[in-house]
């Protein structure tokens, strides 16, 4: 075979490899998009089916629910399908919740409370440490706990800001009536009540959301069975 034929053969092989790589990347992206959309819809369905239990567990006067598996579905989607899927699931799931809560306040709070658990792993492992982010990285308990602590911290900050914004606008007439009667401190009201109770509630919810999602995905090793990222 002549040198010219060898060069042509090498070029064909390179073109074939490039096309296969492009198709693989495209297929992977499409799989994440589909997974995010499906799980976003699933989260809405779960919220609708379990709404009686969720509403029954709400803290009177605060709107916070002690039992709300909606976030579990969003984080589970992220752990199985990857970052893009997690973001899509959270966004589509938030819009889906608008049908259950026409005020728009509940879905907004749910989104900003949950999104730190998806954003922090992306930022820390992929951007800051320049490491390849995979489901196995998060399966490591040390990584998961460290990132969980950071994401809960961001969650608390975001929820404090969101509470202040709504109490200064939408809920300004009710701000003075907020109190900590549920934990036996009915004399603590207004701003002090928000500063104390918001971190407590979101610390609890953050731990439950992360622990439940970890057990759902890594207990039966769903990430390895799907083997997506």
- Residues of the chain above pLDDT 70, percent: 86
Top mean pLDDT of 23-32, 50-59, 147-156, 193-202 is at 147-156
Comparing 45-59, 129-143, 186-200, 210-224, which segment has the lowest mean pLDDT? 129-143
pLDDT in tens, 2-60: 555 544 444 444 444 543 455 477 888 899 999 999 999 999 999 999 999 998 998 87
**Across all residues in the chain, what is the average pLDDT?**
85
What pLDDT is recorded for position 154?
Answer: 97
pLDDT at position 181 is 79
Tell me: the pLDDT tens digits for 72-98?
999 999 999 999 999 999 999 999 998
Nearest in space to 143 (alpha carbons), one of 135, 165, 116: 135
Question: What average pLDDT score do residues 165-174 get?
Answer: 75
Residue 143 has pLDDT above 70, yes or no: yes
Whole-prediction pTM value? 0.84
pLDDT greater than 70 at residue 129: no
């Amino acid at each position: 075979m002549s040198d010219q034929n060898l060069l042509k053969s090498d070029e064909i092989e390179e073109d074939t490899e490039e096309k296969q790589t492009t198709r693989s990347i495209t297929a992977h992206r499409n799989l994440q998009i589909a997974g995010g959309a499906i799980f976003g819809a699933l989260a809405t369905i779960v919220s609708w089916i379990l709404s009686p239990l969720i509403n029954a567990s709400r803290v009177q006067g605060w709107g916070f629910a002690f039992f709300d598996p909606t976030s579990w579905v969003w984080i589970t989607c992220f752990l199985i399908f990857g970052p893009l899927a997690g973001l899509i699931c959270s966004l589509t799931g938030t819009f889906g919740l608008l049908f259950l809560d026409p005020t728009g306040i509940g879905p907004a709070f749910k989104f900003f409370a949950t999104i730190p658990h998806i954003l922090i792993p992306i930022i820390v492992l992929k951007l800051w440490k320049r490491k390849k982010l995979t489901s196995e990285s998060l399966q490591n308990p040390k990584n998961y706990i460290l990132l969980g602590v950071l994401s809960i911290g961001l969650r608390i900050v975001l929820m404090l800001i969101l509470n202040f914004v709504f109490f200064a606008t939408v809920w300004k007439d009710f701000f003075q009536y907020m109190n900590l009667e549920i934990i036996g401190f009915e004399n603590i009201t207004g701003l002090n009540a928000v500063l104390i109770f918001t971190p407590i509630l979101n610390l609890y919810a953050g731990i439950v959301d992360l622990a439940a999602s970890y057990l759902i995905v890594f207990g039966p090793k769903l990430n390895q069975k799907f083997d997506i990222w």
